[in-house]
Chain A
Amino acid sequence: GQQLNQSPQSMFIQEGEDVSMNCTSSSIFNTWLWYKQDPGEGPVLLIALYKAGELTSNGRLTAQFGITRKDSFLNISASIPSDVGIYFCAGPLSNDYKLSFGAGTTVTVRA
């Protein structure tokens, strides 16, 4: 089946740093989504991308839909302690109702 490969698996970052994570797929996706999961909570949608090449921002977050439609990245600028959590990339599989998730990037911020 289709797989989303997300990297890095985890990262420790200094407060104030910019960080980047990415997601690749062996198949073409028509939508890329980035979710964040805070400890003890469910994932929350951060950014949705619908068009190849699209660059979208949400506050300090910026995500891009790769031109090949097989990859996406998420940048966080000027990290703050509340950026701690797990970031997931996701995309719908061929079935409209199925959403496949990457394995997640765990972000820990050093104060």
Chain B
Amino acid sequence: DTAVSQTPKYLVTQMGNDKSIKCEQNLGHDTMYWYKQDSKKFLKIMFSYNNKELIINETVPNRFSPKSPDKAHLNLHINSLELGDSAVYFCASSSPGRKNTGELFFGEGSRLTVL
């Protein structure tokens, strides 16, 4: 019954590879996000989709490409992985009508390690 679920939870890969992280929410929310948490635990927004439409695209390398097939899913594809991409990536969603209150619901995170 996980509200926001991400897969995989752990991902170890070589530099230069391409990988994807998937996210699904069953809360009926219409807005979903990807956040990156670095080794110092700082959380930074990367992307946000509202009803499958990209609404936030922070200064992120274009090797990162989000895709939202429907409002319950938001995937993140990363091309040509670099060492600096190692981090924990969190998916989150927010409730319709409360999008400006910041009440985000987070997944458990996907820890990406690039060797």
Report if A97-B106 is in contact (Cβ < 8 Å); known contacts: A42-B4, A103-B41, A106-B41: no
Q: Is the CB of B99 within 8 A of A96?
A: yes
B103 CB–A CB distance under 8 Å = yes
The interface stretch among B42-50, B60-68, B73-81 is B42-50
Interface 0/1 of A34-74, CB less than 8 Å to B: 00010011111100101000000000000000000000000
Q: Which residue of B lies closest to A50 (CB)?
A: B101
Which residues of B does A touch, CB under 8 Å? 4, 31, 33, 40-45, 48, 50, 55-56, 90, 92, 94, 99-109
In the bound complex, residues from chain A placing their C-beta under 8 Å from that of B106 are: 42-44
Q: Which residue of B lies closest to A32 (CB)?
A: B102
Q: Is the CB of B108 within 8 A of A92?
A: no
Chain B interface, DSSP helix/strand/loop, else mixed: strand
Which residues of A does B touch, CB under 8 Å? 31, 33, 37, 40-45, 48, 50, 86, 88, 90-92, 95-101, 103-104, 106
Q: Which residue of B lies closest to A86 (CB)?
A: B41
Query: Distance (Å) between the CB of B26 and the closest chain A CB?
Result: 15
Q: Is the CB of A40 within 8 A of B55?
A: no
Q: Is the CB of B100 within 8 A of A31?
A: yes
Q: Is the CB of B108 within 8 A of A99?
A: no
A97-B100 Cα distance, complex, nearest whole Å:
6
Query: Distance (Å) between the CB of A90 and the closest chain B CB?
Result: 6
Q: Is the CB of A43 within 8 A of B55?
A: no
Q: Is the CB of A104 within 8 A of B41?
A: yes
Report if A104-B45 is in contact (Cβ < 8 Å); known contacts: A48-B101, A90-B102, A92-B102: no
- Choice from A41, A91, A95, A103 contacting B40 with Cβ under 8 Å: A103
Q: Is the CB of A98 within 8 A of B48?
A: yes
Query: Distance (Å) between the CB of A111 and the closest chain B CB?
Result: 23
Best-surrounded residue of B4, B43, B92, B103 (most CB of chain A within 10 A): B43
In the bound complex, residues from chain A placing their C-beta under 8 Å from that of B104 are: 43, 45, 99
In the bound complex, residues from chain B placing their C-beta under 8 Å from that of A104 are: 41-43
In the bound complex, residues from chain A placing their C-beta under 8 Å from that of B100 are: 31, 92, 96-97
A110-B31 Cα distance, complex, nearest whole Å:
39
- Choice from A41, A48, A103 contacting B102 with Cβ under 8 Å: A48
